Structures are given as structure tokens and as C-alpha cells.
Amino acid sequence: MNSPIVRASLKEWRFDTIIMSISFSPDGRYFAAGGEDGIVLLCSVSDTTVYRTLAPATDTTGYRISSVSFSGDGKSILIGGGVLDFFGDLRLWHLGDGTVDVADKRYRDLCRASFFRDFDGRESIVSCGGGFVTVWHSLLDEPVAEFLHGSYASAAIASQDGATIYSGGFDSGKGKDKGQVRVWDVKEKKCRMTLRSKNQGVFTLALSPDQSVLAGACSVRDQGYIEFWDTQTGELLNRACHNPFMTFSMAFSHSGTHLFYGDYDGVHLYKRLNDTLETLFVPSDSGLSVPVAAIQLDISQEGALFASMTDKTVRLWEI
């Protein structure tokens, strides 16, 4: 797929809560949606049915969902949440019997997490919150590794072979290291490389399908940028300017030549080969103080689907 053609959205779902995160099941039949009110919803892709809901972990004011992620077999959903600048937690919702595992570890800020296969082929979890990045085999056991990213870690993703974890965030101190990406060797449990950003913070990360390029969404004051690094050398390949200053999620196309991303301005398609930007969707409301769009590609389908969320609406698009 050398040049994605984005058709009109296929369906849309309207909810009673602002949707903060979405994730497709491995078979592409369902998606999970995490709400600003702390509720997690399991929805059908084929229609607008909401099959299951999971209540918030706590009635603490301001508790919200910051990430949802399906397990490889589609039988459970990993949930990161918390209260901004206060605490973060991590749960695993087993869809078969409805039980929920809760990690003992608590973060000092919102927690984000996802599944990955480690270097031994075992399904594992990588999570981040506060300044730490944590690797788990099971939420009921002690973490197998924990890395100190800096003052704040806002994103953590694993390579396809599970040997490397990339974390993005920022340090509170002054100087060139304020925005950075750290590259962690999971087996050796050490930092292998630091990718320097020219920006104040790195908030979102995405890996190209061939694992050769890492994209990071960054900001400087009120200006937003997306930076691209070579994962082998750490070289900064390109720095693309975009507006506004905050990108909430990104996903590469199958070819790796295009990058979908969502921000306060809407849903966009950045074409790396000729450094051009196409806006796919602009929200009708302006001046929103919450994330307008989040994107996840579903690579289990022939071709591709992606879902975007705007305020209380989730849209399903076809590529």
C-alpha cells in the first residue's frame, strides 16, 4: 500500500462520555473504548452495539482512562488510568468471567500500558507513569524490569521482537535533554541509547512497520513537531512542523511512508516522502480542552481500518 486512500468514515458511535483511548481486538470484530469518566466499553465493529462495560476503579474525582489494549488472544483488556498529577493504576479485565486483576504498583500520575511479545516470545506488558517505565509478565507478580526515564514518562512502546522498549517524556531541568526518547535493552535491563529531541517534551511514539524509524510527537511552547529517528543509529532523520502544539496518538500506514495522527485540530495524514500534510477530519467544536482525536490502525483486516475519536464520538474509517 504505497499511497493510502482514505475513504469517508464507515460508521460512528456516540457515547455519554468523552473517549480518551481506543483499541481494536486482534480479530478486528470489536474495539475497546476508555472514557474520561473512568468507564471502559466493549463495542462491536459490525454495528453500534455496546456489549460490555466496566465501571471505574474508584469514585475519586477526576479518575479517567488513559489507555486500553487488547491481549494477543483477545480475551482480556489492559487498562491504564488514574487522576492527572495525582496517581495512576493498572488493571487487566478478563472478558470471559469478568474478573479484574489489579497491579499493586501505583504511579504518581496517569498510567499508560500495552501488551507486547518479549524476546522469549512471552506476552508481556509495558507501562509508564510518573517518571518510570515498567515491564511485567503478569500484573499479579512483581515487575521483571523497571527503568527510570526522567521526570515524566508519557509514552512507552516495544519493538516487534520484544528486545527493545522506547520511552518518551521530558525532564524538569533546563537544557538540551528536557525532551528525549530513551532506548532500553529489555534483556540487559539498561539504557542503550538516548535520542535527543529539539523540543520541550516527547508525548507520543510510533514505530514504522519495518522497525527502522521511530516517530515522536513533540512541542515547543505553542508549536508542535513530529520528529523521525533512525532506530539503529539514533540519527534525527526529519523534523516536520504541524499545528497545534499537542498530538495525542499516531500510527504508521502499512508501507511506513505515511503517518496518521490526531490532535486538537482533527485527524491528519502526514506524507513523509514529500513532506506534505492532509487533514482528514476537522471537529465542528473549537476550543476544546480535551483530546480531540486518537488513532489506531487495525492491521488484521485486508487493507486497513482506523478509528478516530472526537469528543464523545468514535468514527471508523477505511483505507
| pLDDT over 90 at 199, yes or no | no
Contact (Cβ atoms closer than 8 angstroms) between residue 134 and residue 112: no
Contact (Cβ atoms closer than 8 angstroms) between residue 56 and residue 28: no
Percent of the chain whose predicted confidence (pLDDT) is above 90: 37
Domains and CATH numbers, the chain: 11-318 (2.130.10.10)
| pLDDT over 50 at 2, yes or no | no
Query: pLDDT digits over 147-176, tens only?
Result: 999 888 889 999 999 999 999 987 665 555
Cβ contacts of 91-100, under 8 Å, gap ≥ 24: 91/57, 91/139, 92/139, 93/40, 93/54, 95/42, 95/52, 98/52, 100/54
Q: How many residues does the chain have?
A: 319
| pLDDT over 60 at 124, yes or no | yes
Confidence of residue 67 (pLDDT cuts 50, 70, 90): very high
Strand bridging mode 112-117 / 87-94 = unpaired
